[in-house]
Amino acid sequence: MAYTIQDFKKGQPRWCPGCGDHAFLASLQKAMAEIGVAPYDTAVISGIGCSSRLPHYMATYGMNTIHGRAAAIATGAKVANSKLTVWQVSGDGDGLAIGGNHFIHANRRNIDLNMILLNNRIYGLTKGQYSPTSPRGFVSKSSPYGTVEDPFRPAELCFGARGHFFARAVATDAAATVDILKAAYNHKGAAVCEILQNCVIFNNGTHESVYDKAGRAKNAIYVKHGEPLIFGENREFGLVQEGFGLKVVKIGENGITEKDILVHDAHCEDNTLQLKLALMGDNDGFPVALGVIRDVDAPTYNDAVEAQIEEVKAAKKYHNFAELLETNDIWEVK
Amino acid sequence: MCTNKFSKPKIKNMAENLEIKELDSVAVRFSGDSGDGMQLAGNIFSTVSATVGNSISTFPDYPADIRAPQGSLTGVSGFQVNIGAGKVYTPGDFCDVLVAMNAAALKTQYKYAKPNATIIIDTDSFQEKDLEKAAFKTPDYLGEMGIDPDRVIACNITQMVKDCLADSGMDNKSMLKCRNMFALGLVCWLFSRDLDIAFNFLKEKFAKKPGVAEANIKVIQAGYDFGHNTHSSAANVYRIETKVKEPGRYMDITGNKATAYGFIAAAEKAGLKLYLGSYPITPATDVLHELSKHKSLGVTTVQCEDEIAGCASAVGASFAGALAVTSTSGPGICLKSEAMNLAVIMELPLVVLDVQRGGPATGLPTKSEQTDLLQCLFGRNGESPLPVIAATSPTDCFDAAYNACKIALEHMTPVVLLTDAYVANGSGAFKLPNLAEFPAINPPYVPEELKGTWTPYMRAENGTRYWAVPGREGFQHILGGLEKDDKTGAISTNPENHDLMTRKRQAKINNIVVPDLEVIGNKDAELLIVGFGGTYGHLRAAMEEMNASGKKVAMAHFKYINPLPKNASEVLKKYKKVVVAEQNMGQLAAFLRMKVDGFVPYQFNQVKGQPFVVNELVEAFTEIYNK
C-alpha cells in the first residue's frame, strides 16, 4: 500500500515560528511516506526537549518519554518487537548530555534504530543554556562569561562508539534531509542522522553558514558514495588526501583535474577518512559535509538476538515451562 | 534429570554403644575458603535429605571480598542447611554440626554453632601458618575458643583425600578440590544419608567429566567410611526421620531461580514474550543469569549499559507488547525510579524486581535487609501509586513473581516485587507446579470494536487503561511522561484534568483485588506478630515456639503491601497487642499506621544484614507478651 504525507501527519506543531523542527517534521513525514512502512508498524520515540515533542505530531505509534532515555527505551521496543520500524528522536541535550550513555551504547550494540539528533547547540525548552554541542566560549544564560569546555562533535562520538551509519543534513534542506532519512531507514543497524537545526529564539544563526541554499553552495559539500568530493558554487573545489589529512584544492589549478579528487566511500569499514569529512567545517577552511558520510553493513543486535534464540531453540530439548522444570534434579515423595 | 523414589534411609552398621539422637530438625553449616566448594557440599546434602522426604531450608553466607587471600578471615564462606522431620521454616539460627575446613572458618563461624554442636575440622589446615592467618595466638586453637575437644571430629582431611586419589593421576590442585566431598561424606555418615543419591547427583553434575565425578564419589565414600570407622570420636549421631510428607515431585530451588521461573511461567500463560532489561548487581544478578539461559523458551535478556537503561528498555519493550521485567537491588531502584514513574503515568505493565540488600548507598551488598519498602512505595516524584508485593520464602518467590506479572499485565501498571538476599540465595524444596492450574492472565487489550473511537486513556470497568500494542492498525497513539487529557489523550495542563487523572491512577491501584491477610496460630491470641516478605520463616518459627510454651500468639504476614488486603485493618485492630517485626527501622509499621486509623503497634526492628534469630524474636515477643 502506498502512503502519503497525510497518513503520517497529526495535530498542530507548537514549536516557535521559524524553528527548524517544523521543516524537519515535514521532511520526516515525507520520508516515511516514501519509505512506505505503515504508520501502525512505525514507532517514534523521543525523550524530553523541544524536538522531543515531535511524536505528538505523528500519526504513528509513539512515546514522548523522559529526559535522555529515548535511545534506551527505543532499544527495548526494537529488541522486543523487531517488526516495528523505530525512529528515535532527541535533541543535543537529550541525546548527548543526559542521554549520552544510551547514545553510545545503542551505536555500539548496533540496534536497528533510526536515531535522529536535532542539533541546535542550545537548551531551548529550559530557555537558553549551553549544550554539550555549544562551542567553547559560548555565552548563554548559564555561561554569562562564556563556556570553558569543549563540545562533543556528534560524528566523533558515534564513530568512537563504533557506529556504522552517520549522515548529516540541514533542517531546512528538505530534499537532502529526506534522502538521508531514507538512507537511515535502509541501513540495518543504528543509523545516526545529525540534523543541523536553528533555534530562532535562543541560538539564532548557529548554523548560519549553511542554513540557506546560497550558504550551502559556498560552504557545504554534499557527499555521495562513489562520487568525487567536489564542491563550490561552480563545483570548482575538491578534496584530496594529503599526509594524514585532507586538503581543499581548486580544480584546474596546479594541474589538478577531477580525476585527482578523492572519491567518497561511505561503505569503507575504516572510518578514518569518513571522520575527517564529518569533522570539517566551523571556519577551518573546509566545507561542512552533508549527506551520508558513513554507511557500513554490520550485524544488528536485534537480528543477532533473534538468531541466537532460534539457534538455542534448535539445540535445546525444552521449549515450554513444563519441559524446563524437567531439566532439574527432581525427586518424588509418595 | 534424576527421579529418586522415596526410600527409608539405610542405617549402616552402627556400633551398639553409639548414642543416636532423634531430632526434629538439624542444621549443618559447611564453612571454608570461598574456593572450597562449601555450597556444592551443602547443596548435595540438602538434595540428599530432601529426597528422603525431609524438609529443607538453606542459606549461603558469602564473604564480601571477591577473592580474599586463601585462609584469611575475610575469605570465609558459609552454607547452612536445615533439615527437618516436619516443616522447617528457616535455615536455623545456630547449627548442630559445623564443618570448618580451615582455621579461619573455625574462627569466624564458631559463633553460629550451638553450645553442644559437633565440630568437624581438617587438621591439615590448622598448621602454624593457617593459625597465624586466622589470628590465633597459640597452637591450642580449641582452648583459645573454649571448644570442648570431645565435640570435635578432627581429621586430616587433606592428606586422606590425597591418599584416596593417589592412583587417580590427578594433579595436586584437582585433588584438593575434592576436600569438600570428604566433609560431605562424613556428614552423610552422621545423618545416615543414602550415598547413592549423592553419587547420582555428582554423575549428573559432572556428566561431561566422568573422571571428576568418579573422584568426588570416591572421596565421599572415604569420608563416610572414615566416620563409620572412627565413630567413637563423635559425641552424637543424628537421625532425622520424615514425619510429614506432601506427595509430589520436588526440586531444590533458590529464591532467585524461583523468581526467574515465575516470570517464565507468567509469560507463557499470558502468551507473551518475556523481556528482561537488567544490569548486574548483587544479590539480584542470578535472576539475569537464570533467564539468559532460557533462550529456547524465547526469553530475551538485555544486559544494559546501566540500571537506568535496564528499566527504560523494559518500558520500551512493554510498549512494544512484551511482558517486561527489570531486576535489581536497592541502589538500582534509585536509578530506575524515573523510568518506573514513566510506566506509572503511561500505565504500561512492568515488573520491577528488587532483591533487597543492606543499605544505604552501596551498604552491605551481600547481606539482607528489608529497607527498600518505603523507597518502592513512595520513592518517586509526584503522586505515583504502584502495587508492591513481597515474597516470603525461596519457593514463594515463584508465586510472588507470577502474581506480580499477572497484576502488572491485567492492571496496566508497574509492580514492585520485593525479595531480599536471604530469600534470593536461600533454597527450599519446591513442589513442581502445574501451570494449567494457575489462574489465567488476561491483559486488557483494546477491543477491536473501539477502533475509530478509542483514545489512549479510555478505561475498562475496573479503571484499567486498555493496551494497544503497536502493529494494530487504527490504534496508533502517543504515550508519554507529560500529563494527558482523560478524554482525548492529548497533552493537558488543565488543573481539573490533572486532579482527575491523579485520582484515576490511584483508584486503579486501590481497585486491585489481592488475597485477604491470613492469620495463623492461636485463635484467641493475645499477641499478633506482623511482618512482611522474607522474615516469614523466622517469625513463624518464633510464633510456634511461643505457642508450644503455652502462650497465645498468632501471626499475620503481608505478601501484598500495596494495595493492602481488604481485611488488613480488621485483623490489625482485633488483637490486644500487635508487634510489627521487620529488618528495618519500622517501615511497614509506618505504612500500616498511615493506612490504619489508630493503629499503634509494638515494634521489633533489627538492621544487621543477617536473618532474624528465632531465639531473639521469642525473647523480645515474650517481653511484649508479658507487659
- ipTM for the whole complex: 0.97
Looking at every residue in chain A, the average pLDDT score rounds to 97
With a cut of 70, say whether residue A85 has pLDDT above it: yes
Nine cell digits for residue B269: 500463560
- Tell me whether B87 touches chain A (CB under 8 Å): no
Q: Looking at beta carbons, which residues of chain A come within 8 Å of B305?
A: 72, 101-102, 105
B244 pLDDT tier (thresholds 50, 70, 90): low
User: What is the per-residue burial (b if ≥16 Cβ within 10 Å, else e) of A2-31?
Assistant: ebeeebbbbeebebeeebbbbbbbbbbbbb
B295/A contact by beta carbon, under 8 A: yes
A vs B, Cβ pairs < 8 A, gives 226
pLDDT at residue B2 is higher than 50: no
Cβ-defined contact of A62 to B478 (cutoff 8 Å): yes
Q: Out of B316, B341, B342, name the one closest to residue A75 (CB).
A: B316
B1/A329 touch (CB, cutoff 8 Å), yes or no: yes
Q: Which of B3, B476, B477 to mutate to test the interface with A (most CBs of A within 10 A)?
A: B476
Cell triple for residue A260?
585527482
The C-alpha cell at B188 is 552423610
Position B112 pLDDT exceeds 80: yes
Q: What average pLDDT does the structure give for chain B?
A: 91
Cross-chain residue pair B320–A65, CB shorter than 8 Å: no
B490, A74: Cβ pair inside 8 Å? no
Separation between Cα atoms, residue A46 and residue B522, nearest integer Å: 57
- Write out chain A residues lying below 8 Å of B336, CB-based: none
Q: Which residue of B has its CA nearest to A81?
A: B320
Of B47, B245, B321, the CB nearest to A329: B47
Chain A environment of B433 (Cβ under 8 Å) = 325
In CATH terms, are B252-437 and B519-626 the same topology? yes
Residue B336 pLDDT class (50, 70, 90 cuts): very high
Q: How far separated are the first and last CA of chain A, in Å rounded?
A: 63
Is B480 touching A (CB cutoff 8 A)? Answer: yes
User: Strand runs (DSSP E) across B357-438, as ranges?
Assistant: 388-390, 414-420, 427-431
Distance of CA A40 to the CA centre of its chain: 22
User: How many whole angstroms separate alpha carbon A220 and alpha carbon A232?
Assistant: 8
Q: Inspect the interface and report whether the beta carbons of B297 and A43 lie closer than 8 Å.
A: no
On the question of pLDDT at B156 being above 50, the answer is yes
Tell me if B432 and A101 make a contact (CB, 8 A cut-off): no
Using the predicted structure, report yes or no on whether residue B404 has a pLDDT greater than 90: yes
Residue A16 confidence (pLDDT) above 90: yes
Provide, rounded to the nearest whole percent, the portion of chain B with pLDDT above 90: 76
Chain B segment 17-56 residues within 8 A of A by beta carbon are 47, 50-51, 53
- Range in B235-244, B394-403, B480-489 with the lowest mean pLDDT: B235-244
Nearest-CA distance A139 → chain B (Å): 31
Cβ-based burial of B420 (10 A; exposed 0-12, middle 13-18, buried ≥19):
buried
- The CA distance from B1 to the nearest CA of chain A, in Å, is 5
Radius of gyration of chain A (CA): 22
Rg (CA), chain B: 26
Work out the minimum CA distance from A78 to partner chain B, whole angstroms: 7
The C-alpha of A98 sits at a distance from chain B's nearest C-alpha, in angstroms, of: 11
Contact check, Cβ <8 Å, A80/B261: no
| The residue to which cell 575434592 is assigned | B178
- On chain A, the residues whose CB falls within 8 A of the CB of B434 are 322
d(CA B57, CA B46): 8
Position B191 scores a pLDDT of 83
Q: In this structure, are residues B407 and B623 in contact, taking their beta carbons and an 8 Å threshold?
A: no
Fold of B20-239: Pyruvate-ferredoxin Oxidoreductase; domain 3 (3.40.920)
Q: What residue ranges do the domains of chain B occupy?
A: 20-239, 252-437, 444-512, 519-626
Question: What angle is formed at CA A46 by the lines to CA A42 and CA A52, rounded to 5 degrees?
Answer: 120
Nearest to B338 among A61, A66, A313 (CB): A66
Q: Is the CB of A79 less than 8 angstroms away from the CB of B317?
A: yes
Question: A332 to chain B: nearest residue by CA?
Answer: B249
| Percent of chain A's residues with pLDDT above 70 | 99
Residue A66 C-alpha cell reads as: 523522559
Q: What is the mean pLDDT of residues B450-479?
A: 96
In this prediction, what percent of chain A has a pLDDT beyond 90? 97
Beta strands in chain A, from DSSP E residues, in sequence order: 42-46, 61-64, 85-91, 114-119, 122-123, 129-130, 165-170, 191-196, 220-223, 230-231, 237-242, 245-250, 288-295, 330-333
B491: chain A residues, CB-CB within 8 Å: 56
The label of the residue with cell 570553558 reads: A148
- List residues bridging with B527 in a β-sheet: B553, B577
Q: What is the pLDDT of residue B22?
A: 57
pLDDT band at A283 (very low <50, low <70, confident <90, very high): confident
Distance to chain B for A21, nearest Cα, Å: 18
The pLDDT of residue B229: 83
**β-sheet bridge partners, residue B587:** none
d(CA B556, CA B414) in angstroms, rounded, equals 26
The answer to whether B74 touches B594, Cβ cutoff 8 Å, is no
Predicted confidence (pLDDT) per residue in A227-267, tens digit: 999 999 999 999 999 999 999 999 999 999 999 999 999 99
Q: Chain A: give the shortest CA distance to residue B295, in Å.
A: 5
Strand order in the sheet with B25-33: B3-5, A330-333, B248-254, B427-431, B55-61, B76-84, B25-33, B95-100, B113-122, B152-155
Distant-in-sequence, close-in-space partners of B604: CB < 8 Å, separation ≥ 6? B579, B580, B581, B582, B617, B620, B621
Per CATH, the architecture of A5-206 is what?
Answer: 3-Layer(aba) Sandwich (3.40)
Contact check, Cβ <8 Å, B1/A330: yes
Percent with pLDDT over 70 in chain B: 93
Q: Which among A104, A75, A45, A37 is positioned nearest to A302, based on CA atoms?
A: A75
Pick the residue of A45, A58, A69 with the most B CBs within 10 A to test the interface with B by mutation.
A69
Cβ partners under 8 Å of residue B374, min gap 6: B587, B590, B591
CB A319 within 8 A of CB B264: no
Residues near B183 by Cβ (< 8 Å), separated by ≥ 6? B30, B41, B99, B101, B120, B122, B157, B223
Q: Measured between alpha carbons, how far is A164 from A254 in angstroms, rounded to an integer?
A: 36
What is the edge-to-edge ordering of all strands in the sheet holding A230-231?
A230-231, A237-242, A245-250
Query: What integer pLDDT is reported at residue B243 of this predicted model?
Result: 53
Chain B CB contacts of A311 below 8 Å: 295
> What is the tens place of the pLDDT at every residue in B165-175?
998 889 999 99
Q: Average pLDDT for residues B177-190, to the nearest whole number?
A: 92
Query: Under CATH, what is the fold of the domain B252-437?
Result: Rossmann fold (3.40.50)
Per the CB < 8 Å rule, is B320 touching A81? yes
Neighbours of A63 (CB within 10 A): 29
In CATH, which of 3.40.50.920, 3.40.109.10, 3.20.20.370, 1.10.3720.10 is domain B519-626? 3.40.50.920
B110-116: Cβ within 8 A, 24+ apart:
B110/B145, B110/B147, B112/B29, B112/B78, B112/B80, B113/B29, B116/B151, B116/B235
Over the stretch A174-206, which tens digit does the pLDDT of each residue have?
Answer: 999 999 999 999 999 999 999 999 999 999 999
For residue B14, is pLDDT > 50?
Answer: no
pTM of the model: 0.90
Tell me what pLDDT residue B13 has: 31
Q: Which of residues 187-216 of B touch A (CB under 8 A)?
A: 197, 201, 204
Chain A residues whose CB is inside 8 A of the B309 CB are 69, 72, 75, 101-102, 105
The answer to whether residue B282 scores a pLDDT higher than 90 is yes
Chain B: residue nearest A48 by CA? B481
* pLDDT given for residue B18 in this prediction: 44
Question: How many angstroms separate the Cα of B139 from the Cα of each of B103, B136, B144, B505?
Answer: 11, 7, 9, 68
Per-residue pLDDT of B549-600, as tens digits, reads 999 999 999 999 999 999 999 999 999 999 999 999 999 999 999 999 999 9
Chain B neighbors of A90, CB-CB under 8 A: none
Give residue-wise pLDDT tens across range B440-449: 999 999 999 9
Secondary structure (DSSP) of A263-279: BP-TT-S--HHHHHHHT
Which of A63, A325, A332 is the closest to B3 by Cβ?
A: A332
Distance of CA B338 to the CA centre of its chain: 27
